[in-house]
Amino acid sequence: MFMDEINQLRRMGFRAILLQALNLATIIAGGLMGWKALCLATNSESPIVVVLSESMEPAFARGDILFLTNFASDSYEIGDIPVYKIPGANIPIVHRIIHSHTSTVTHPNGTTTETQLMLTKGDNNPTDDLGLYHSYMRGMKWLKRDMVVGKVRGFLPHVGYVTIVMNDYPQLKYALLGTLGVFLLFNKEQ
Amino acid sequence: MFSAWQRLQNTSSWALSVCLTLLAVISVSSWYVLPTVPLGSIGLKSFQVVPGSGSQSNLEYALMRLDVQSDLTPLFANWNTKQLYVSVVADWNSTVEGTQSSVVLWDRIITRKRPEAAKLRIEGLKAKNVWKVRRGGFKTIPSCHLSLKYDIMPYVGIVTPGIGARARNPTWNVTTETATNSFGEWDIAVPGVKSGGVGS
């Protein structure tokens, strides 16, 4: 089975192999560039996230994909669903806002700064997130804007399960990436 | 000329692009024909302020009963409505602290179109989340808006908010009379309702 491939490699010659490697690198770089462009366009550090928990059932189930934006002009109101990351917590949380308190301070030079304090709750949780805040950060009473990664704008069901499975079984991930790489390397334009 | 592998590849990539196009068409088209609902009503039946006790003694609570009416069935006429998150929200400005606040008093998730699920007609609704402010805080709230908000969760696509009902008289006023009616130690004051400024 592999003899064919090795023979093929021999026949291709050095330049052709380099060209294929370049193709592979272009695809990887293209993907990275696309992701970074999306980060810039949405102003969010991770504009696409996969739901991992059941805390927002039945709105979002495990494996659903969410699309986020985090523009400075985005206002967060009751009912909106932010994704937030508390310093010290390893995974971001997606829950719904149930309290909001905004105070506006006008400075002597005429500019104003707004501070918004929010409280969130998972639709499927019996209580709000105050205990969750405490467990990650002592003394944290409110969710503030600087911990928000983005606001949920779009929804695509189930597709994210692929990444969950790959994270649960890393061998599968490497096997898949390996095969993909090999195929790209040997794929000749006919 | 075509190997089994190439056939499989072609078929799966074709299926994938058909699926993605279909999903895009569904989400965009449903957003364009987004239904609206006739504005329902919220009536404030009773309103009481009670002081907190124990560790919460620096707070005071508002206990209230609401009558909520709103027909949300039109929202399910859209083919892309999976569920509604419906909440009764109190919005107010505090004159002393200079803050704009909103609090969910009650919420529900509606997943079915059937009138008994999507047509809200609730009398004497009790708040699930108790509305609490620091002691004496209700005196500094000149008016408050009550509204029923909904957020449409789609099967695929864009999450959209909307308003399903407002209080018939959208502001309640704590008149000076009721404000001086002292929210004293264990007193219970019923602002607004006495002066007829609430609800109806």
Cross-chain Cβ contact A81/B161 below 8 Å: no
Structure tokens at B79: 């083919």
The pLDDT value given to residue B168 = 63
Q: Residue ranges of the domains in chain B?
A: 1-32, 36-189
The pLDDT value given to residue A1 = 61
CA distance B144 to B91: 6
Q: Is B138 left (phi over 0), alpha (psi -120 to 50) or beta?
A: alpha
- Alpha-carbon gap: A118 to the closest alpha carbon of chain B (Å): 10
Find the CB nearest A156 among B82, B149, B156. B156
B141 vs A34, residue with greater confidence: A34
CA dist B111 to A47, A61, A75, A114, B115, Å? Answer: 27, 14, 27, 36, 11
CB atoms within 10 A of CB A39: 15
For strand B40-51 and strand B160-173, is the pairing parallel, antiparallel, or unpaired?
parallel
CATH class of A48-159: mainly beta
Among the residue ranges A79-93, A141-155, B161-175, the one predicted with the least confidence is B161-175
Q: Give the contacts of A93 (CB within 8 A, at least 6 positions apart).
A: A83, A84, A85, A86, A120, A129, A132
The pLDDT value given to residue B83 = 92
**At B53, which amino acid appears?**
S
Find the CB nearest B129 among A79, A98, A104. A98
Find the CB nearest B87 among A79, A81, A128. A79
- Check pLDDT > 60 for residue B180: no
Q: What is the mean pLDDT of residues B122-128?
A: 86
Q: At what angle do helices A161-168 and A170-186 cross, to 10 degrees?
A: 110
Tell me the pLDDT tens digit for each residue of A39-59. 999 999 999 999 998 899 889
Q: Give the contacts of B132 (CB within 8 A, at least 6 positions apart).
A: B52, B56, B59, B60, B61, B62
CA distance B145 to B101: 11
The answer to whether the CB of A63 falls within 8 A of the CB of A160 is yes
CA distance A84 to A92: 5
From start to end of chain B, where are the E strands? 40-51, 59-71, 81-94, 99-110, 119-126, 131-134, 143-154, 157-158, 160-173
- Check pLDDT > 80 for residue B72: yes
Tell me the pLDDT tens digit for each residue of B4-43. 888 999 999 999 999 999 999 999 998 888 888 888 888 8
For A127, name the nearest residue in chain B, comparing CA atoms only: B129
Q: Does B96 touch chain A (CB under 8 A)?
A: no
- Check pLDDT > 70 for residue B182: no
Cross-chain Cβ contact A99/B151 below 8 Å: no
Tell me the pLDDT tens digit for each residue of A63-113. 999 999 999 888 899 999 999 999 888 889 999 999 999 988 888 888 888
- Alpha-carbon gap: B23 to the closest alpha carbon of chain A (Å): 9
Active site residues of A: 55, 95, 129
Structure tokens at B21: 């196009």
The answer to whether the CB of A96 falls within 8 A of the CB of A118 is no
Cross-chain Cβ contact A99/B98 below 8 Å: no
B70 bridge partner residues = B120
* Contacts with A79 from chain B: Cβ below 8 Å: 85, 87, 89, 104, 149-151, 161
Find the CB nearest A78 among B27, B87, B156. B87
Give the pLDDT band of residue A149 (cuts 50, 70, 90): very high
ipTM: 0.81
* Contacts with B161 from chain A: Cβ below 8 Å: 77, 79-80
Q: What is the mean pLDDT of residues B32-61?
A: 83
Find the CB nearest A77 among B97, B102, B155. B102
CA dist A88 to A52, A117, A133, Å? Answer: 18, 20, 11
Q: What is the mean pLDDT of residues B180-188?
A: 32
| 3-class DSSP state of B11 | helix
Q: What is the mean pLDDT of residues B54-75?
A: 86
Best residue in A97, A102, A155, A180 for a mutation probing chain B (most B CBs within 10 Å): A155
- Check pLDDT > 60 for residue B58: yes
* Contacts with B103 from chain A: Cβ below 8 Å: 78, 98-100
Mean pLDDT across chain B, nearest whole number?
A: 78
Cross-chain Cβ contact B155/A154 below 8 Å: no
Give the pLDDT band of residue A20 (cuts 50, 70, 90): confident
Torsion of the alpha carbons at B139, B142, B148 and B149, rounded to the nearest 10: -100
Q: Does A63 touch chain B (CB under 8 A)?
A: no
For strand B119-126 and strand B99-110, is the pairing parallel, antiparallel, or unpaired?
unpaired
Q: Where are the alpha helices (DSSP H) in A137-169?
A: 161-168
| 3-class DSSP state of A21 | helix
The pLDDT value given to residue A187 = 65
Structure tokens at B82: 């999976």
Best residue in B102, B152, B158 for a mutation probing chain A (most A CBs within 10 Å): B102
Enclosing H/E stretch for A40: helix A2-42
CA distance B169 to B151: 23
Q: Which of A28-32, A55-59, B72-76, B99-103 has the highest mean pLDDT?
A: A28-32
* Contacts with B26 from chain A: Cβ below 8 Å: none
Cross-chain Cβ contact B149/A153 below 8 Å: no
Structure tokens at A74: 């985005």
Q: Residue ranges of the domains in chain A?
A: 48-159
CA distance A69 to A63: 19
Q: What are phi and psi of B190, to 5 degrees?
A: -120, 80
Q: Please report, rounded to a whole number, the percentage of residues in chain B having pLDDT higher than 70.
A: 83
